[in-house]
Chains A and B, each alone.
Chain A
Amino acid sequence: MENLLNIFVKSIFIDNMIFAYFLGMCSYLAVSKKYKTAAGLGAAVIFVLAITVPLNWLAYNMLLKEGALTWISPELANIDLEVLKFIVFIAIVAAFVQLIEMVIEKFSPSLYNSLGIFLPLIAVNCSILGAALFLPTREYDLAEATVFGLGSGIGWFLAVVSLAAIREKMAYSDVPKPLRGLGITFIVVGLMAFGFMSFQGFKLPFNRTDDQPKEVSSIESPKDNQVVVETIKIEQ
């Protein structure tokens, strides 16, 4: 339980999809002009992430991982289908999004009207596929994977809603002409990412020895910032 809470907090604040990994940036920038649309897409992302991450976890651990097929017959223990993970993950995401769209349209037209137009966009949102691709390297169990998906979605939602709020306010500012639109948005996102970096100093209260966030002791040393994008290695 403590472990789950840890992953939940970590995936919202510390490993935020936008500010730590820059996943889902395209739609993030495209929909963040208005607060309302941002909230709509954010809600759709939470929903889809919370469901596709466990689905992809099942696909990976029951089909793709080396030795995963032993539940069918022990002779299949040597089969490693990991090369297929891209195709399987994206197919699951795309099919699921299509399915959800049809179900929502059928049973809840009002929800469809508010959420529906964003659903097709989500199939190609990097954060959905990205969360699935993190699964092989982080050895979560099913409950942890679900919490990770949910937390990542909430993190994305927070990021998109706060950027939209800032951009709405920014309409009243006098930005230099060539910087208007995309340019200033990037700078704002950069500054927000700085804000979120302060969460890295958090010591999560629940003891987990393996991936507790390292303390960023001094901003001068790039080595310490490896934790920011933990899997991208800086040549030292």
Chain B
Amino acid sequence: MSDKIEKKAAEPLLSKKRKELLSNPMDSDNPITIQVLGICSALAVTIALEGTVIMALAVFFVLVLANVIISALRNTIPNRIRIIVQLVVVASLVAVVDQVLRAYAYEQSKALSVFVGLIITNCIVMGRLEAFALGNKPWDSFLDGVGNSVGYGWIIIAIAFVRELFGAGKLFGFPVFESLGLDYIGNGFFATPAAACIILGVIIWILRARSGYVED
């Protein structure tokens, strides 16, 4: 154990490998567009920017903390019941988030309805716990959590930007087109869940065309 600690001290806090942990999930290894995780909430909550930002923050909080907690416990969790342990840790964190939202942002918490609770089964959280936190040190897991939740966050915020701008002509509830003196009638297509799918498909198309990643 002691040499482990020494090794850790020897590696700089933000070595190249660790910077990659942070930056890869935002782009070339994005949880949504490449790993195909956490799609449900990405599509369902993105109707308006405000709720989406709250959702992104909630996922950030849950994923980072769950990653750190599971990583700290990784040597004590019996392999056979690890899924249940992970679910309990995540569920408790989500309960905290839900209570905080109810106390300080009640309207938004009502609007997000079941999707806050569904962070528990958000595949990003479970996927990162399984694939990363169970085998890595807490600090690395922390960086991985930050990277993945930011990677998730920017995609859903991008979808919400398009949907709110064209669906309602607003951004964060601020009427953009009207303030520019333009007349804009909200395009109901963008407010439907179907549009979220198509926008995400197009975002994936753009990102993959840029990175050259081809799925067979």
What is the interface of chain A, defined by CB distance below 8 A to chain B? 19-26, 29-30, 83-87, 90-91, 94, 120, 123-126, 128-130, 133-134, 137, 176-187, 189-191, 193-194, 197, 218-222, 224-225, 228-229, 231-236
CA distance A133 to B44 in the complex (A): 15
What is the interface of chain B, defined by CB distance below 8 A to chain A? 33, 36-41, 43-45, 47-48, 50-51, 83-84, 87-88, 91-92, 94-95, 98-99, 107, 110-114, 117-118, 120-123, 126, 167-168, 170, 173, 185-198, 200-202, 204-205, 208-209, 212-216
Q: Known: A178-B208, A232-B51. Is A83-B99 also a contact (CB below 8 A)?
A: yes
CA distance A1 to B184 in the complex (A): 46
Contact of B204 among A133, A137, A182, A233 (CB under 8 A): A182
Contact of A129 among B99, B120, B167 (CB under 8 A): B120
How many Å from the CB of B113 to the closest CB on chain A? Answer: 4
Contact of A218 among B98, B188, B192 (CB under 8 A): B188
The A/B interface has a contact count, at CB < 8 Å, of 193
Residue of A nearest to B211 (CB): A178
What's the dominant secondary structure at chain B's contact region? Answer: helix
How many Å from the CB of B115 to the closest CB on chain A? Answer: 8
B47 near A26 with CB under 8 A, answer no
A228 contact set on B, CB distance < 8 A: 191-193
B214 near A29 with CB under 8 A, answer no
B118 near A190 with CB under 8 A, answer no
B205 near A183 with CB under 8 A, answer yes
Residue of A nearest to B210 (CB): A178
A86 near B94 with CB under 8 A, answer yes
B195 contact set on A, CB distance < 8 A: 190
B123 near A193 with CB under 8 A, answer no
CA distance A225 to B1 in the complex (A): 58
B38 contact set on A, CB distance < 8 A: 26
Residue of A nearest to B50 (CB): A235
B43 near A25 with CB under 8 A, answer yes
A229 near B204 with CB under 8 A, answer no
B95 near A233 with CB under 8 A, answer no
How many Å from the CB of A220 to the closest CB on chain B? Answer: 5
- Apart from the given pairs A29-B39, A178-B208, 20 other A-B contacts in the complex at a CB distance below 8 Å: A22-B39, A26-B36, A26-B38, A84-B95, A85-B117, A86-B92, A91-B87, A123-B83, A124-B83, A128-B121, A177-B214, A178-B213, A179-B204, A190-B194, A197-B194, A220-B188, A222-B186, A228-B191, A235-B48, A235-B173
